[in-house]
Chains A and B, each alone.
Chain A
Amino acid sequence: MKLFNYGLITLATLLSPAVLSSEINSGDTAWILTATALVLFMTLPGLALFYGGLVRSQNVLSVLMQCFAICCIVSVVWVVYGYSLAFTGNGSIIGGTDALFLSSLTRDSASGTLPESLFVVFQMTFAIITPALVVGAFAERMKFSAMCIFTVLWVTLVYLPACHMVWGGGYLSSIGVIDFAGGLVVHATCGVGALVAAMMLGPRKGFPGGSLVPHNRPMVVMGAAMLWVGWFGFNGGSAVAADSSAGMAILVTHIGAAVGALTWMTVEWVKTGKPTVVGIATGMVAGLATITPASGTVGPQGALLIGFLAGLICFYATQMIKGFFKIDDSLDVFPVHGVGGILGILTLAFIGKPDGFLGAGAAGFDPSVFDQFMIQLQGVIVICLWTLVFSWVALKVTSLITDIRVSNESEHEGLDLTEHNESGYSSG
């Protein structure tokens, strides 16, 4: 996400006759209109299908339902107070109350070179996908009512402050943390939140064991492929302009996805003897999550390295979380998104200088590589600790209101029937 530096925008407005005539740029607007649709497409249907295929058949609807409901809930939260707390005001941790219910928004208000209305809905789609990613951690066992309450609390306590700190002019943006499209704001928060949720809910019955396997792998591949396409809007749109930065972002995003997928596939092939389709799809997601924060900074050569590191490190992280730590982060949100996002945030410091290592096409930054790395590290520590504490608070408060986990019987029978009175696959 390019920061909204109002000083710079004003300067550009004074200098450029093209911008003088109209503050709003139709090219930028057209691209972000498209990108907004692409990012929503990542959650519905992309992520919903990806997760839906990864769970067992008796829970497929519950996961689709959770993603759908989160989309609706977060949209309302965003309009009522989310946008205001994330993107207005000058607080170092949380924004202001000027735009509650979007009351300050007019048809003509502008945000940079975009209509503000478009900026509101573009950012809304990021706020939607982040809690939807957390669904993967508590899939197949969380009570739907508890999930609704948790979503409101988690977005309020974790996403909005993180978004304001990094993108809304808060503390982390003031120290110069680079997070182009959400390695911290989206992927580190959902990853750490997922870890907390998985540990507080406890493992699924039967974990660890061989019976908790995907019920529909073609659905997983369809969802993953939609995520890949949608990610062009996610990263390319984060330039908030139709410019060279957006073009390079899409190029490096694509490279990250392809190399992440290939690396994961190869590691799995060497380790287990077969390349799997769920493996190649998961490696793709890891590559995309890892290139996300770096997609405004690195060039194509850097993207090759990032994709490789993503496939390798996220693969082993996935084995560790379930195998060694025995945490049932059911659909591997932390090792793929959390580890990926953090990896991208830290790696970009080493390959982001145009005249440095793998730097062709990179955008660069003013501090030295080491200084930038320390800034990035500070961002990681602040966001991870914040998310750790407030995800715990959000779930704790939810558990005081209602049970967060379904009954054993309901878990056995499946959430589709017991929580929603529907079944995914008709039994006649």
Chain B
Amino acid sequence: MKLISAIIKPFKLEEVRQALIDFGVEGLTISEVKGFGRQKGHTELYRGAEYTIDTLPKIKIEILTDDNDVPSIVDVISSSANTAKIGDGKIFITNVDEVIRIRTGETGSDAI
């Protein structure tokens, strides 16, 4: 089992979510996060003076999945979140030792 975490541009959330649902993903977790990468931050103005905001708002999507679905899900996210511009985000894939569904106590693939 893997945990796929994708950092994407906030306005792409709807598109990515829809694409994932269309693919068959049955659940995901979304958080509002802040950070920076190559895009860095942006400048804003206050009474004529420019100042830098170092971090940008992004959205993090987390999806728990079986190993064999990983390449397809990565494809779905990459294509739906892509604007071909700097700041589109990244996808991380990590191993998951165990998953437990709280209500039933199911574990492993059954709990996904």
Pairwise interchain contact B53-A211, C-beta atoms closer than 8 A: no
Pairwise interchain contact B34-A422, C-beta atoms closer than 8 A: no
Pairwise interchain contact B45-A427, C-beta atoms closer than 8 A: no
- Does A244 have its Cβ within 8 Å of any Cβ on chain B? no
- Does A242 have its Cβ within 8 Å of any Cβ on chain B? no
- Does A417 have its Cβ within 8 Å of any Cβ on chain B? yes
Q: What residues of chain A lie closer than 8 Å to B34, measured between beta carbons?
A: 427-428
- Take A428-B34, A428-B55 as given contacts and tell me if A423 and B14 are in contact as well, using a CB distance cutoff of 8 Å: no
Interface residues of B in 51-93 (CB under 8 A from A): 53-57
Cα–Cα, bound, A427→B45 (Å) = 14
Residue of A nearest to B41 (CB): A427
Interface residues of B in 1-42 (CB under 8 A from A): 11, 14, 34, 42
Q: What residues of chain A lie closer than 8 Å to B44, measured between beta carbons?
A: 417, 421-423
Choose from B11, B14, B43, B55 the contact partner of A421 (Cβ within 8 Å): B43
- Does A322 have its Cβ within 8 Å of any Cβ on chain B? no
Residue of A nearest to B55 (CB): A428
Residue of B nearest to A425 (CB): B57
Pairwise interchain contact A417-B42, C-beta atoms closer than 8 A: yes
Choose from B43, B50, B55 the contact partner of A427 (Cβ within 8 Å): B55
Choose from A211, A417, A422 the contact partner of B14 (Cβ within 8 Å): A211
- Does A217 have its Cβ within 8 Å of any Cβ on chain B? no
Pairwise interchain contact B57-A427, C-beta atoms closer than 8 A: yes
Cα–Cα, bound, A421→B55 (Å) = 15
Cα–Cα, bound, A420→B45 (Å) = 8
Q: What residues of chain B lie closer than 8 Å to A413, measured between beta carbons?
A: 11
Q: What residues of chain B lie closer than 8 Å to A209, measured between beta carbons?
A: 14
- Count of interface residues, chain B, beta-carbon cutoff 8 Å: 14
- Does A215 have its Cβ within 8 Å of any Cβ on chain B? no
- Does A412 have its Cβ within 8 Å of any Cβ on chain B? yes
Cα–Cα, bound, A209→B13 (Å) = 14
Q: What residues of chain A lie closer than 8 Å to B14, measured between beta carbons?
A: 206, 209, 211
Residue of B nearest to A414 (CB): B11
Instruction: Please indicate which of the listed interface residues B34, B44, B50, B53 has the most CB atoms of chain A within 10 Å of its own CB.
Output: B44
Cα–Cα, bound, A211→B13 (Å) = 10
B109 → A minimal CB distance (Å): 32
Interface residues of A in 405-428 (CB under 8 A from B): 412-413, 417, 420-423, 427-428
Instruction: Please indicate which of the listed interface residues A417, A423, A427, A428 has the most CB atoms of chain B within 10 Å of its own CB.
Output: A427
A230 → B minimal CB distance (Å): 29
A326 → B minimal CB distance (Å): 19
Q: Mark A48-80, 1 if CB is under 8 A from B, else 0.
A: 000000000000000000000000000000000
Pairwise interchain contact B56-A422, C-beta atoms closer than 8 A: no
Residue of B nearest to A421 (CB): B45
Residue of B nearest to A426 (CB): B53
Instruction: Please indicate which of the listed interface residues B34, B46, B50, B57 has the most CB atoms of chain A within 10 Å of its own CB.
Output: B57
Q: What residues of chain A lie closer than 8 Å to B54, measured between beta carbons?
A: 428
B59 → A minimal CB distance (Å): 13
Q: What residues of chain B lie closer than 8 Å to A423, measured between beta carbons?
A: 44, 53
Pairwise interchain contact B11-A428, C-beta atoms closer than 8 A: no
Cα–Cα, bound, A423→B44 (Å) = 8
Q: What residues of chain B lie closer than 8 Å to A412, measured between beta carbons?
A: 11
Residue of B nearest to A209 (CB): B14
Pairwise interchain contact B55-A422, C-beta atoms closer than 8 A: no
Q: What residues of chain A lie closer than 8 Å to B45, measured between beta carbons?
A: 420-422
Q: What residues of chain B lie closer than 8 Å to A422, measured between beta carbons?
A: 44-46
Q: What residues of chain B lie closer than 8 Å to A421, measured between beta carbons?
A: 43-45, 50
Cα–Cα, bound, A164→B99 (Å) = 73
Q: What residues of chain B lie closer than 8 Å to A211, measured between beta carbons?
A: 14
A412 → B minimal CB distance (Å): 4
Q: What residues of chain A lie closer than 8 Å to B42, measured between beta carbons?
A: 417
Can you offer 26 A-B residue contacts whose CB atoms are under 8 A?
A206-B14, A209-B14, A211-B14, A412-B11, A413-B11, A417-B42, A417-B44, A420-B45, A421-B43, A421-B44, A421-B45, A421-B50, A422-B44, A422-B45, A422-B46, A423-B44, A423-B53, A427-B34, A427-B53, A427-B55, A427-B56, A427-B57, A428-B34, A428-B53, A428-B54, A428-B55
User: Given A209-B14, A422-B45, 16 other A-B contacts at CB below 8 A?
Assistant: A206-B14, A211-B14, A412-B11, A417-B44, A420-B45, A421-B43, A421-B44, A421-B45, A421-B50, A422-B44, A427-B53, A427-B55, A427-B57, A428-B34, A428-B53, A428-B55
* The 4 A-B residue pairs with the shortest CB-CB distance in the complex, in nearest-first order: A412-B11, A421-B45, A427-B57, A421-B44
